[in-house]
Amino acid sequence: MTTVSTTKEKVEQAAPLRPDWPVILFMIAVHALALLAFLPSTFSWAAVGVAVLFHWITGGLGVTLGYHRLVTHRSFQAPKWLEYFLVFCGTLSCQGSPIEWVGLHRAHHMYSDRDLDPHDAQKGFWWSHLGWMLYDSPADNEVPRLTKDISDDPFYRFCDKFLLPIQIALGVALYFWGEAVSPGLGWSFVIWGIFVRMVVVFHCTWFVNSATHKFGYRTYECDDTSTNCWWVALVTYGEGWHNNHHAFQYSARHGLKWWEIDLTWMTIRFLQAFGLAKNVKLVQK
């Protein structure tokens, strides 16, 4: 069985990677539009506040708490309505559909730093940070097999199908919110709340794929290059304690030392206090 898997990886690696032009053009457009934030007419402190708020909603609640710890690893259980809310917040991050995100992350753990790892850190910092998304990945073929628990769920399929329309709807809502706050703030809220926020959340998330396989320290010996990186933990609500996570993938808590600040673990504890997080999995020492 190991021989078959290894052979498959070598075959997939030998196949030339094709550029994923829709993703390439999307990334260029989003980053270019984020640069409009440097225009004096689009800056306002209120808009910066909106960007910070939605950084937490989409990157913290959505990607880190929802996509990652709840759905990908099932490190705790939550009511279905809360799971759907967190997944919807993750959809607003525009990091691909929840089904695709969960499947690729499960593939990352299954093949960490090997050929079928979608963002194999052995191929270099920039590949694991961004380059891997710009090509059709062999790991995409693993997604249906690794997401059977969610792929038939109507809500997940809705988020998968309407990923961009949901983001557009948010942009429209932000425009009218800005205009309601003060005439002329609409586009400022859109630029900062959509494009600047999206780019910042993108790179914060990507640092978990790149920086936490290159910088920092290792507490546990794992069959990969994962590290604990404090500054990544700060911008990703605790995801930077990546070596801890790879050692104990099931654990809802990533910051295992008292000084390894893990804001997402604090959120889970908050939910637990109100009975909204149950069967919380932790490292048994």
- Total domains in the chain come to 1
User: If you average pLDDT over residues 203-218, what whole number do you get?
Assistant: 97
Share of the chain above pLDDT 90, in %: 89
**pLDDT at position 125 over 50:** yes
Q: Please give the mean pLDDT across all residues of the chain.
A: 93
SS3 readout for the chain: CHHHHHHHHHHHHHCCCCECHHHHHHHHHHHHHHHHHHCHHHCCHHHHHHHHHHHHHHHHHHHHHHHHHHHHCCCCECCHHHHHHHHHHHHCCCCCCHHHHHHHHHHHHHCCCCCCCCCCHHHCHHHHHCHHHHECCHHHHHHHHHCCCCCCCHHHHHHHHCHHHHHHHHHHHHHHHHHHHCCCCHHHHHHHHHHHHHHHHHHHHHHHHHHHHCCCECCCCCCCCCCECHHHHHHCCCCCEHHHHHHCCCCCCCCCCCCCCCHHHHHHHHHHHCCCCECCCCCCC
* Residue 174 structural domain: 42-273
Distance (Å, whole) CA 191 – CA 24: 20
Q: Is residue 16 part of a domain?
A: no
Q: What is the predicted pLDDT for the residue at 138?
A: 87
> How sure is the predictor about 4, in pLDDT bands with cuts at 50, 70 and 90?
very low
User: If you average pLDDT over residues 194-206, what whole number do you get?
Assistant: 98
Phi, psi of 226 (to 5 degrees): -60, 145
> How sure is the predictor about 137, in pLDDT bands with cuts at 50, 70 and 90?
confident
Distances (CA, A) of 26 to 36, 46, 66, 75: 16, 27, 24, 32
**pLDDT at position 2 over 70:** no
> How sure is the predictor about 10, in pLDDT bands with cuts at 50, 70 and 90?
very low
pTM above 0.85, yes or no: yes
Q: Is residue 11 part of a domain?
A: no
Q: Is residue 143 part of a domain?
A: yes
Q: Is residue 34 part of a domain?
A: no
> How sure is the predictor about 115, in pLDDT bands with cuts at 50, 70 and 90?
confident
User: If you average pLDDT over residues 239-265, what whole number do you get?
Assistant: 97
**pLDDT at position 126 over 60:** yes
Q: Is residue 259 part of a domain?
A: yes
pLDDT digits (tens, 9 = 90+) for 161-175: 999 999 999 999 999
Q: What is the predicted pLDDT for the residue at 15?
A: 60
Q: Is residue 23 part of a domain?
A: no
